[in-house]
Amino acid sequence: GAKKLWGGRFSGATDPLMEAFNESIHFDRRMHAADIRGSQAYAKALLNQGILTADEQQQIDSGLSQVLSEWQAGTFKLCPGDEDIHTANERRLGELIGAAAGKLHTGRSRNDQVATDMRLWLRDEVNQQLEFLRELVGALVQRAENDLDVLMPGYTHLQRAQPIRWSHFLLSYAFWFQQDAQRLEQFLPRVCQLPLGSGALAGNPFQVDREWLAKELGFTSVAPNSLYGTSDRDFVAEFLFIASMIMIHISRLAEDLIIYSTAEFGFVQLADAYSTGSSLMPQKKNPDSLELLRGKSGRVFGDMSGFMMTYKGLPSTYNKDMQEDKEPMFDAVDTLTGSLQITSAVIATLKINADKMKNSLTGDMLATDLAEYLVRKGVPFRQTHHISGAAVKMAEDRGCQISDLSVADLQTLHPSFTDDVAAVWNFEKSVDNRSSIGGTSRVTVEAQIALLKKWLQ
Ligand code: ARG
């Protein structure tokens, strides 16, 4: 095998099977830029301590920049023995600049290095996911604004409940995604805590200025204990949880739209661009994009629970188990990246059938409004609920709509019913009655749109 960074105390060779089992380069190469950034900052910190001369630091800095451009150009050649990204970059730096490369790792360990790389990498990804979330909220708000007049049945238990605005439904998800974005923002300061300078476990013996390093790398604090700094992967678990919550929201939205796109509902039609056909049944148009969104949520929960199983039993500081932290993190980021973009596109291109939504509204969905009519006449709600229920039953027994009952019919249930009861049978009015903050009235839906637009600015 090739010469190893840690080979000094070894006389026997590594089993090739073990080499393959041990390496992480095929996935942690994704962090090549973060690894180089961390090393360039660390070399400057060593210069500040007089560990490197200005010339050595210069060589290291420009050598690392060259390594980075090789990665970016796709010309970086992996060698046997490049077990991970840290080893590979340092090996290549040595080939480029010679002896000075051997001073870079002074006082540093791959343990504080890998934790730093992961946090640098994840910070940039979190900012990217925030962009995707804002695009999605923007797509939902745009639609909510355009389709403001469209009424539809609202459901509880998937049974027709009360009329709502279609926009009100869309905005319910927009607020979830806004909260997801806020969660990610609140998470950022915990990602931006610097492990570098923790050494292998016990700290740095060359008095590197960790506050300076944190600033140099755009971090907001320094891990205050070196054992904690090298042990901690809470930021991975927390990211995976937030990613899982986002996927839950995407999955629930997908499920709603799958149901609404069936012929039986017919409320929405997915654009061809996000549907696929059947190899056997010529008439089929299937909502595959939505089904994948729903399905991929399970995958991200798997990333989270799998990682937590790995993390839970580890003794203090670095253990090789922790190499298993990266793939779930990468997978969750990739899945989220695809899912958020597809969800935005599906929402923006969705066709709706406003007539089908409206025609699905039935008189009995105003039974609550009928009870509220009596409440406004001074009858206690508990009583009105019962009376309105009796009206529903009366209409059912006669095979008519509740709105077809005459005032005389209703008066057999309570004397307070008068001619003005006719005004109850109006879906627009029912919807606009709900005008306390958060309700489905036009004014309060417009207020929701304004809130989100302000946040999006
Ligand atoms: N490839 C390793 C990982 O991903 C880097 C850290 C190795 N540290 C060590 N002490 N073996 O975790």
Please tell me the distance from the alpha carbon of residue 195 to that of residue 392, in angstroms, as a whole number: 66
Catalytic residue among 62, 65, 278, 305: 278
Lookup result for tokens 């958020």:
340
- Ligand 1 pocket, 84 CB below 6 A? yes
H or E element, residue 286: none
Q: What is the dihedral of CA 108, 111, 116, 119, to 10 degrees?
A: 180
Relative to the CA of 86, which ligand 1 atom is closest? 5
Which structural domains are found in the chain, ordered by start? 7-106 (1.10.275.10), 111-359 (1.20.200.10), 363-425 (1.10.40.30)
Mean pLDDT of 197-204: 98
pLDDT tens digit sequence for 405-425:
999 999 999 999 999 999 999
* pLDDT tens-digit readout, 299-351: 999 999 999 999 999 999 999 999 999 999 999 999 999 999 999 999 999 99
Separation of CA 119 and ligand 1 centre (Å): 15
Q: Give me ligand 1 centre to Cα 29, in Å.
A: 13
pLDDT digits (tens, 9 = 90+) for 22-67: 999 999 999 999 999 999 999 999 999 999 999 999 999 999 999 9
**Side chain identity at 407, as an amino acid letter?**
V
Nearest-CA residue for atom 2 of ligand 1:
323
Identify the bridge partners of residue 163 per DSSP, sorted by sequence position: 153
Q: Would you tell me how many other CB atoms lie within 10 Å of the CB of residue 4?
A: 14
d(CA 385, CA 369): 10
Separation of 87 CA from ligand 1 center, angstroms?
Answer: 10
Determine phi and psi for 313, rounding to 5 degrees.
Answer: -105, 15
Q: Ligand 1 centroid vs 226 CA: distance in angstroms? A: 16
Query: What's this model's pTM, rounded to 2 decimal places?
Result: 0.95
Q: Which of 27, 29, 110 to mutate to test the pocket of ligand 1 (most atoms within 8 A of CB)?
A: 110
Which protein residue's CA is at the shortest distance from atom 6 of ligand 1?
Answer: 110
Query: Cβ of 5: how many Cβ atoms within 10 Å?
Result: 14
Chain mean position to CA 93: 37
Q: Which atom of ligand 1 is nearest to the CA of 83?
A: 1
In 192-266, which residue ranges form alpha helices assigned H by DSSP?
210-216, 226-231, 234-260
Predicted ipTM? 0.97
Query: Active site residue: 11, 157, 279, 436, which one?
Result: 157
In residues, how long is the chain?
A: 457
Per-residue pLDDT tens over the stretch 211-251: 999 999 999 999 999 999 999 999 999 999 999 999 999 99
Q: Is 157 a catalytic residue?
A: yes
Q: Where are the alpha helices (DSSP H) in 74-151?
A: 85-97, 110-146
CA-proximal residue: ligand 1, atom 4 (nearest):
323
Please work out whether the CB of residue 323 comes within 6 Å of at least one atom of ligand 1: yes
Residue 386 bears catalytic tag? no
Chain mean position to CA 160: 31
> Is the shortest distance between the CB of 114 and ligand 1 below 6 Å?
yes
Q: Say how many CA atoms lie within 13 Å of 378 toward its Cβ.
A: 2
* Structure token digits, residue 17: 């099977």
Does the Cβ of 125 fall within 6 Å of ligand 1? no
CA–CA separation, 125 and 243 (whole Å)? 12
